[in-house]
C-alpha cells in the first residue's frame, strides 16, 4: 500500500491523561489536562544490549562468537514547561497540590515519594511543514503518544533574571491497557472536517510509543484538570 511521508515542526499542544496501576485511563472529574505551556518534549530510548557469547580455543582463537539481540527497556521522556499548571504537575508526579482559600489549585508540594505504577498517558501534536494540508484540503498534524508513563520526577529548577522553566521526567512502561484510547484522534473518512474516531489500531502489549499523521485537530488547551467521562 502507498505511504505518506511527513516532517514535524513545533509542538502545538499536549494532553496528559491519568492512568491507573494497570495502565487503564482513569474515568473521573479530574483525569486530563491539555496545555500549550511547554518548551519542548524529549524522548530518549534506554536499550538493553544483547548478551555476548564468546569462547576461545586452547590456542587463543575464537571458537564461538555470537551477539544477542538488543531490546528496548523503556523510553525516558523529559518535558520542559514554561507555565505552572498545578493539576498537570500533580498528575505526572503524584505530588500533592497546594490549594488557596477558595480551594483552587495554586501550586505543588514536592515529596520524597515516586509513583512507580500509576502515572499518565501523554499525547503531543505537532505541525507538518511544507505541505500542511492533505490532498483533500485537510490540515495535517503529527501525533505522538506515550500510553503509559511512570516515575514522574521534577528536575532542575532555576529562578533568576530570566524566564523560569520547570522540567519533569518519566519512563514509559509496556503492557498498559490504553487500547484505542478514550479520545477521538484519527479520521475515519475523507469528509471536511473528518469524522473523528479513536486510534484505528489498538496499542499492543509490547508497544511504548505511537507516532503517526492525522487530520483530526488537537484539543484546545485549558488551565487545570478536566473530566474524562
- Cα–Cα distance for residue pair 78/81, rounded to 1 Å: 10
Spell out the domain ranges in the chain.
9-51+64-228
Task: For residue range 84-136, list pLDDT tens digits in order.
Answer: 899 999 999 989 999 999 988 898 888 888 888 889 999 999 999 887 777 67
- Phi, psi angles (nearest 5°) of residue 24: -85, 135
Does position 190 have pLDDT exceeding 90, yes or no? Answer: no
pLDDT of residue 215: 92
Task: For residue range 165-180, list pLDDT tens digits in order.
Answer: 889 999 999 888 999 9
Cell of 51: 548478551
The length of the chain in residues reads: 229
Amino acid at each position: 500500500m502507498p505511504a505518506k511521508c511527513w516532517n514535524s515542526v513545533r509542538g502545538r499542544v499536549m494532553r496528559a491523561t491519568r492512568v491507573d496501576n494497570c495502565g487503564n485511563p482513569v474515568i473521573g472529574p479530574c483525569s486530563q489536562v491539555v496545555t500549550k505551556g511547554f518548551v519542548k518534549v524529549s524522548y530518549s530510548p534506554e536499550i538493553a544490549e544483547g548478551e555476548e557469547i564468546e569462547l576461545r580455543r586452547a590456542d587463543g582463537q575464537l571458537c564461538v562468537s555470537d551477539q544477542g539481540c538488543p531490546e528496548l527497556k523503556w523510553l525516558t521522556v523529559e518535558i520542559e514547561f514554561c507555565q505552572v499548571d498545578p493539576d498537570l504537575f500533580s498528575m505526572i508526579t503524584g505530588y500533592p497540590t497546594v490549594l488557596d482559600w477558595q480551594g483552587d489549585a495554586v501550586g505543588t508540594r514536592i515529596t520524597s515519594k515516586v509513583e512507580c505504577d500509576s502515572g499518565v498517558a501523554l499525547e503531543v501534536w505537532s505541525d507538518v511543514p511544507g505541505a500542511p494540508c492533505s490532498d483533500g484540503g485537510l490540515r495535517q498534524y503529527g501525533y505522538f503518544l506515550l500510553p503509559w508513563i511512570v516515575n514522574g520526577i521534577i528536575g532542575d529548577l532555576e529562578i533568576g533574571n530570566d524566564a523560569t522553566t520547570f522540567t519533569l521526567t518519566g519512563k514509559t512502561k509496556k503492557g498498559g491497557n490504553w487500547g484505542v484510547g478514550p479520545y477521538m484522534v484519527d479520521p475515519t473518512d475523507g469528509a471536511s472536517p473528518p469524522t473523528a474516531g479513536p486510534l484505528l489500531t489498538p496499542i499492543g502489549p509490547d508497544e511504548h510509543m505511537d507516532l503517526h499523521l492525522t487530520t483530526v485537530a488537537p484539543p484546545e488547551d485549558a488551565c487545570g484538570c478536566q473530566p474524562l467521562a
